Amino acid sequence: MIFLVDGEKFVNETIKLIPGEREEKEKILQRVSFILKGVLYGNILTALIQGFLAFFMYFILGIPQYLLWAFLTTIASFLPIFGTGLIWLPLTIYLLLVGSYIKALILLLYSVLIIAQVDNFLKPLLIGGRTGIHNLLVFFSVLGGLAKFGLFRTFSWSSYLRFSYLNNRNLQNKSSSLNLCPNFLK
C-alpha cells in the first residue's frame, strides 16, 4: 500500500540508501522494477492457469456453479500454504457426501497431481524466465519463502533474493572494471 500512497517519495528515499552514483542507482531500481514485474507476472499467470485447470475439471465433473468455483480457485491460489486446496478439498468432500465417489477421487487426484503442482513447477519457470535468473534459484526461493514466510512475504523474499543477486552482480562488475584483482589471480 505504501507504493500507492507515497510511491515517488519511497523511490526517492530508496535511491538515497543505495551506494553509488545517481545513474547506477537508477539502473539498479530499473532492474528491481523489472524483477518485481516478473514476479507479479509469474504469480498472476500461475493463478490464471490454476483457475483454468480447475474450471476444466469442475466442468467435466458437472460440479454446480463450476465457473464460480473456478474463479474462487484462482483467487485462492494467491493464499499461502493451502491455496487452491481451500476450494477443491471442500468440493471433493461435497462429491463424497452426494455419493459421487468416482468423481470425488478424480477431482482429488487431479487437484493434487495437476493443479497444486503448477505452483511448484510452473511458477519458478515463469518467474525465472521473465527475470533472467536461473530457474533452480527461483524454485528454491519460492519454496523456501512459502515455507518460511507465507504467500505475501514470499513475494517479498523472492524479490529480496533477486535484489541481492543483482546487487552482487553489480558489485562484481564494478570490481572487475576497477581491476581490484591482481593479475596472477585472474
78 contacts 112 by C-beta, under 8 angstroms: no
What is the structure's pLDDT at 17? 73
What is the structure's pLDDT at 180? 43
Q: How far apart are CA 45 and CA 133, in angstroms?
A: 18
Q: Per residue in 72-102, pLDDT tens?
A: 999 999 887 788 999 999 999 999 999 999 9
Whether the predicted pLDDT of 140 surpasses 60: yes
Whether the predicted pLDDT of 183 surpasses 50: no
Whether the predicted pLDDT of 109 surpasses 60: yes
158 contacts 127 by C-beta, under 8 angstroms: yes
What is the structure's pLDDT at 81? 75
More confident residue, 8 or 148: 8
Q: Per residue in 27-53, pLDDT tens?
A: 777 777 777 787 788 889 999 999 999
Nearest to 85 by CA among 77, 93, 97, 95: 77
149 CA to centre of own chain: 13
Residue 31 carries which side chain, given as an amino acid letter?
R
Q: Per residue in 4-32, pLDDT tens?
A: 566 677 767 777 777 777 787 777 777 77
Q: How far apart are CA 40 and CA 48, in angstroms?
A: 12
Cell of 103: 468423481
**Cα angle value 177/158/75 (rounded, 5°):** 150
Tell me which of 31-40, 77-86, 108-117, 175-184 is least confident. Answer: 175-184
Exposure string of 24-54, with b = 16+ CB inside 10 Å and e = fewer, is ebeebeebbeebbebbeebbebbbebbbebb
Where do the domains of the chain lie? Answer: 22-180
What is the structure's pLDDT at 176? 53
Cell of 94: 461435497
What is the structure's pLDDT at 145? 65
Whether the predicted pLDDT of 182 surpasses 50: no
Q: What's the mean per-residue pLDDT of the chain?
A: 77
